[in-house]
């Protein structure tokens, strides 16, 4: 069948896009929210992406685009938590007792600490290290300068290093 | 310091993606759904819009899943997800047909992949050829209103987007030869023999 456009000029069928980016999006959301809330946010991310998908420019950076959507969904969850804060003790209890985290053999991890950082630092570290976006892509996703993204990452890492020095090695 | 990304459980993301795709199809956000359907003539890819089945492709003969879906995305919409539940009816009818328990397909069809006009008229005429019977390219051209356009009728049938259900395998050359088939002549023979019709030499 004749093709008028080169393959790069067309959007892939959505299923292929979903399959190509599902792992990155889920890793990012687990890092950002924990497993408990990642499932819903994952579905919301790809449902929003699908609604906008047919109007997307075919030459868009699809990975950066879907992770930006995931970032916004994660932010919504963090804001909702801010309005209905869960006591810290309950978070630990939930993590320890939940079938989807500790019971599945997830080690207590550094992402729990990242989630407790100030918003911008949390965003930059999850997008950089869980989603593997570049600082330039992160700056675009967050609407800040690349310099600001780098600084937030450095500040966040500094806090984490300090915390890890201050706790016993079991964590 | 290093911040390794969270580890995923095996199959975790795939299962979530499948749930999301099913939901997208259920809620109508994905216009187009597809599923694999196993059959005695090889694995098929069935594609449906909200109006009905728009495409049945022979997975291997039609260039594999990617090529089949690229074509649908280009012509209809890229909002395509794998959602077997949306293809359950055509799957059941195909199973019954290959089991010898069904002669006519009742599943609604969407002709969107064939431009309206002569080509679509040919396919719609072809859809009327009963189980066990055969017709000719010439008769199809006549029925579609252009008696001399039997070559064009052959072209329309050769690009039938919904083979098996729209039985282009029942159309033969006027001299009794088998003609061509989108899924290869072996499949045409097999389908005709399933239907118990007279096979041309």
Fold of B22-98: Double Stranded RNA Binding Domain (3.30.160)
Q: What percent of chain A has pLDDT over 70?
A: 78
Per-residue pLDDT, B2: 76
Q: Measured between alpha carbons, how far is B68 from B44 in angstroms, rounded to an integer?
A: 11
Mutate which: B1, B2, B5, vs A, most A CBs within 10 A: B5
Q: Measured between alpha carbons, how far is B60 from B162 in angstroms, rounded to an integer?
A: 15
Residues paired with B33 in a beta bridge: B48, B81
Residues 6+ apart with CB under 8 A from A141: A64, A67, A68, A71, A127, A133
| C-beta separation of B162 from B140 below 8 A | no
| Segments making up each domain of chain B, as ranges | 22-98, 118-194
State the nearest Cα–Cα gap between B154 and chain A, in angstroms. Answer: 16
Residues 6+ apart with CB under 8 A from B144: B118, B121, B122, B125, B153, B156
Per-residue pLDDT, B199: 57
pTM of the model: 0.87
Domains B22-98 and B118-194 agree in fold? no
Nearest CA-CA partner of B94 in B200, B191, B184, B9: B191
Residue A65 reports pLDDT greater than 50: yes
Per-residue pLDDT, A108: 60
Per-residue pLDDT, A98: 39
B126 included as an active-site residue:
no
Mean pLDDT of B40-52: 97
Average pLDDT, chain B: 94
Mean pLDDT of B29-51: 97
Q: Measured between alpha carbons, how far is A142 from A72 in angstroms, rounded to an integer?
A: 9
- List CB contacts (< 8 A) between B81 and chain A: 14-15, 18, 50
Catalytic member of B168, B171, B172, B191: B168
CA distances in angstroms from A89 to A30, A94, A166, B88, listed in the order given: 20, 9, 20, 47
Per-residue pLDDT, A104: 37
Per-residue pLDDT, B200: 53
Q: Measured between alpha carbons, how far is A132 from A123 in angstroms, rounded to an integer?
A: 12
Name the residue of chain A whose CA is nearest to B28's CA. A51
CA distances in angstroms from B10 to A19, A23, B16, listed in the order given: 14, 11, 12
Q: Measured between alpha carbons, how far is B18 from A35 in angstroms, rounded to an integer?
A: 18
Q: Measured between alpha carbons, how far is B108 from B196 in angstroms, rounded to an integer?
A: 25
Mean pLDDT of B85-97: 97
Q: Measured between alpha carbons, how far is A104 from B8 in angstroms, rounded to an integer?
A: 11
Residue matched to tokens 């949390």:
A122
Yes or no: domain B118-194 corresponds to CATH 1.10.10.10: yes
Which domains does chain A show, CATH number per domain? 8-166 (1.20.140.160)
* Burial status of residue B25 (CB atoms within 10 A of its CB: 0-12, 13-18, 19 or more): buried
Mark yes or no for CB contact B5/A157 under 8 Å. no
Residue A50: how many other CB atoms lie within 10 Å: 24
* Burial status of residue B27 (CB atoms within 10 A of its CB: 0-12, 13-18, 19 or more): exposed
Q: At what angle do helices A35-52 and B12-26 cross, to 10 degrees?
A: 50
Per-residue pLDDT, A169: 56
Mutate which: A10, A32, A50, A52, vs B, most B CBs within 10 A: A50
CA distances in angstroms from A20 to A30, A91, A100, B141, listed in the order given: 18, 32, 24, 45
Q: DSSP letter for A168, please.
A: -
Nearest CA-CA partner of B133 in B174, B179, B171: B171
Strand arrangement, sheet containing B32-37: B52-58, B44-49, B32-37, B80-82
Could you give the ipTM of this predicted complex? 0.92
Q: How confident is the model at residue B143 (pLDDT cuts 50, 70, 90)?
A: very high
Per-residue pLDDT, A82: 82
Q: How confident is the model at residue A93 (pLDDT cuts 50, 70, 90)?
A: very low
Residue B30 reports pLDDT greater than 90: yes
State the nearest Cα–Cα gap between A145 and chain B, in angstroms. Answer: 23
- List CB contacts (< 8 A) between B1 and chain A: 157, 160-161, 164
State the nearest Cα–Cα gap between A83 and chain B, in angstroms. Answer: 27
């Amino acid at each position: 069948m004749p093709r008028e456009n080169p393959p790069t000029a067309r959007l892939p069928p959505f299923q292929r896009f979903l399959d190509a980016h599902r792992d990155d999006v889920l890793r990012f959301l687990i890092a950002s929210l924990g497993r408990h809330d990642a499932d819903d946010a994952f579905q919301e991310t790809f449902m929003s992406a699908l609604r906008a998908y047919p109007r997307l420019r075919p030459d868009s950076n699809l990975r950066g685009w879907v992770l930006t959507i995931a970032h916004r969904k994660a932010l919504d969850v963090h804001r909702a938590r801010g309005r209905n804060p869960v006591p810290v003790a309950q978070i630990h209890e939930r993590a320890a007792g939940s079938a989807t985290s500790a019971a599945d053999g997830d080690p207590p991890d550094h992402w729990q600490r990242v989630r407790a950082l100030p918003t911008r630092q949390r965003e930059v570290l999850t997008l950089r290290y869980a989603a593997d976006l570049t600082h330039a892509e992160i700056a675009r996703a967050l609407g800040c300068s690349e310099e600001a993204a780098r600084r937030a990452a450095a500040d966040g890492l500094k806090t984490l290093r300090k915390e890890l020095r201050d706790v016993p090695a079991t964590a | 310091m290093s911040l390794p990304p969270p580890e995923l459980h095996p199959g975790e993301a795939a299962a979530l993606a499948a749930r999301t795709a099913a939901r997208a199809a259920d809620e109508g956000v994905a216009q187009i759904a597809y599923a694999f359907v196993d059959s005695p003539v090889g694995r098929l890819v069935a594609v449906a819009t909200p109006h009905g089945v728009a495409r049945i492709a022979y997975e291997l003969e039609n260039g594999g899943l990617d090529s089949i879906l690229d074509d649908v995305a280009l012509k209809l919409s890229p909002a395509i997800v794998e959602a077997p539940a949306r293809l359950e009816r055509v799957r059941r009818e195909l199973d019954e047909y290959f089991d010898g328990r069904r002669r006519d397909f009742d599943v609604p069809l969407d002709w969107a992949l064939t431009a309206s006009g002569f080509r679509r008229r040919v396919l719609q005429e072809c859809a009327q050829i009963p189980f066990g019977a055969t017709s000719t390219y010439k008769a199809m051209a006549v029925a579609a209103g252009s008696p001399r356009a039997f070559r064009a009728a052959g072209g329309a049938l050769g690009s039938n987007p919904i083979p098996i259900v729209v039985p282009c395998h029942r159309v033969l050359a006027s001299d009794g030869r088998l003609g061509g088939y989108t899924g290869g002549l072996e499949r045409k023979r097999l389908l005709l023999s399933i239907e118990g019709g007279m096979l041309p030499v």
